[in-house]
Amino acid sequence: MLFHTSDGAPVDDSTMLANSEEYMREHLRSVIESLEKDCKISLYGIGLHFRVNEYFPHSLQVDSAPEASRVVCEYVVELLTAT
C-alpha cells in the first residue's frame, strides 16, 4: 500500500515557468497511472483540506487537521480489513 498525502495541487514555480501550467498535474497523473499498472502496489491519495479524488481513484479528504491522524488511521484499518 502506498499513500500519497497532499495539502494542495502540485505546484513548483520554477517548473511552471519552464513548462506549461499543466505540466506538474500531468506528471502526477502519469506517475499515478504507471503505479496503478503495477499489480503489487495499491495506491491511495489522502488530501488535507484538498480533494485528491481528481488524481487518485482511491482517496480520502480530511477537512480537520486535528482529526487527521484519527481519520487516516481509521481509513487504513478499513482498507486493511477489507482485503
pLDDT along the chain (83 residues), means of 10: 85 84 89 88 91 90 89 92 80
* Cβ atoms of 23 and 15 closer than 8 Å: yes
Instruction: Please tell me the pTM assigned to this model.
Output: 0.77
Cell 484538498 -> residue: 50
pLDDT of residue 20: 86
pLDDT score of 83: 62
Handedness of CA 78, 79, 82, 83 (dihedral sign): negative
Number of Cβ within 10 Å of residue 27's Cβ equals 13
Phi then psi dihedrals of residue 52, to 5 deg: -95, 0
What SS3 state is found at 44?
A: strand
